Amino acid sequence: MTAITSDYDVKCMMCSTEVGQILNGAFKQHAGCSNVLPRQGGMLRCCHCGGSLYLDPIDVYSPMVDRAQLARMFSNSAA
């Protein structure tokens, strides 16, 4: 089994509801859904409409880079 190294929002393909997140390899279901997500054919389904779920990567940027540093990096690469 492969460890998940990225973080994801878990969303419904049909109604676009975000049902949870995968953070540091662990699924955390949002409180708006019932206690147990329904299953169909062994796959988790949306708690609101029963639609298929997909993973949407969460964009993570380094908190150590500030705007001034980014501006210097871009100006140096443009020169």
3-class DSSP string for the chain: CCCCCCCEEEEECCCCCEEEEEECCEEEECCCCCCCCCEECCEEECCCCCCEEEEEECCCCCCCCCHHHHHHHHHHHHC
- pLDDT value for 5: 65
What pLDDT tens digit does each residue of the chain (79 aa) get?
Answer: 455 568 999 999 999 999 999 988 898 998 888 778 889 998 999 999 999 999 999 876 666 667 787 788 788 876 5
Burial level of 28, CB count in 10 A (0-12/13-18/19+)?
exposed
Residue 1: its pLDDT value, please? 46
Q: What is the pLDDT of residue 60?
A: 65
Cα-only R_g, the chain: 18
Sign of CA dihedral 69, 74, 75, 79: positive
Q: For the whole model, what pTM was predicted?
A: 0.66
